């Protein structure tokens, strides 16, 4: 399924969340996203890498070039302190927002 607009806007939140678990490179990140969302969210490299670079630009993630077991140089992204702060703030916002939308869209019981 292609990512829709809602997912696009929250892509940075998703990336920050996944990176908060452990540092990883772009390919692994897209795999983990697919896995954690049970295949619902699949982000192509065309959206993923620009988003990663934007986050790096803002200073919320930082990147390091490491050598993998296959002797290749791979770029690993990890969360910064500010990124962690951002994650908390945006998580809180998301909870509020999604709660409000759910309250309107999903009819209340009884």
Partner 1 sequence: MRWLKFFFRKSAIEKELNSEIRFHLDSVTQEKIDAGLPPEEARRLTMLEFGGAEQVKEECRYAHRLAFVETTLANLKAAVRFMRKSPGFSIAIILTLALGIGANSAVFSAIDAILLRPLPYPNAGELVVLHQYNRASKDSSRPIAPVRLEEWNKYNSAFQAIAGSYTQDLSETSGTVPERLAEADVTPRFLQVLGVAPELGRDFTPAEERFGGPSAVLISDRFWRRRFHADANVLGKRIRIESSSVPIVGVLPASFQFPDKDIDLWWPVPMDAPIAQNRAYTWFTGIGRMKPGITLAQARADLDTVQARLGRQFPQTDKDLAARIQSLKETIVAGSRRSLWILFGSVTLLLLIACTNIAALLLSRITERAHEISIRYSLGAGRGSIIGQFLTEALVLALAGSVVGLAVAAAGVRVFHSLAKALPRVEEITLDWRLALYTLCCAILATALCGLVPALIASRRSISSTLASHGRTQVSARASLQWTLVGVQVALAVTLLVGAGLLLRSFQELGRVSPGFDPNHVLTLRISGNYGETNDQKKMFQRMKNTVGALATVPGVESAAISATVPGAGSGFPIEIKAAGSAVSPSRKITADEKVVYGAYFETMRIPLLAGNTCKKDTLWTTAVVNRSFAETYFPNQTAIGHHLQITSFDAKPEIVGVVGDARENGLNHPAVPTFYWCSSNADPSPYFLLRVRGDPMKLANALRREIHRIEPSRSVFEMMPLSERLSESNAENRFRTLLLALFALTAISLAAIGLYGTLSYLVARRNREIGLRMALGALPSQIRARFLAQGAGVALLGCVAGLVIAAALSRLLAGMLYEVSRLDPLTYIAVATGVLVLAAAAAALPAGRAAHLDPMQILRHE
The number of residues that bind partner 1 (CB under 8 A) is 25
* Helix H or strand E segment including 63: strand 61-67
List for the chain the helix, strand, coil content (%; round to 5). 60, 15, 25
Q: Which of 6, 50, 98, 100 binds partner 1 (CB under 8 A)?
A: 50
| Contact string (CB under 8 A) for partner 1, positions 28-47, x = contact | --x-------------xxx-
**Contact between 61 and 83 (Cβ < 8 Å):** yes
Reported as half-sphere exposure (CB side, CA atoms, 13 A), residue 53 has a value of 5
74 binds partner 1 per the rule CB under 8 A:
yes
13 binds partner 1 per the rule CB under 8 A:
no
Reported as half-sphere exposure (CB side, CA atoms, 13 A), residue 32 has a value of 17
67 binds partner 1 per the rule CB under 8 A:
no
In the complex, the residues that contact partner 1 under the rule CB under 8 A are: 25-27, 30, 44-46, 49-50, 53-54, 56-60, 65, 72-75, 82, 85-86, 89
């Amino acid at each position: 399924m292609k990512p829709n607009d809602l997912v696009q806007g929250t892509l940075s939140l998703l990336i920050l969340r996944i990176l908060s678990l452990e540092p990883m490179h772009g390919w692994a990140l897209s795999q983990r996203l697919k896995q954690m969302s049970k295949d619902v969210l699949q982000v192509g490299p065309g959206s993923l890498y620009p988003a990663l670079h934007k986050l790096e630009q803002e200073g919320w993630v930082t990147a390091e070039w490491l050598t993998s077991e296959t002797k290749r140089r791979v770029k690993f992204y990890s969360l910064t302190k500010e990124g962690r702060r951002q994650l908390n703030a945006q998580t809180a916002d998301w909870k509020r927002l999604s709660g409000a939308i759910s309250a309107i869209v999903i009819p209340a019981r009884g």
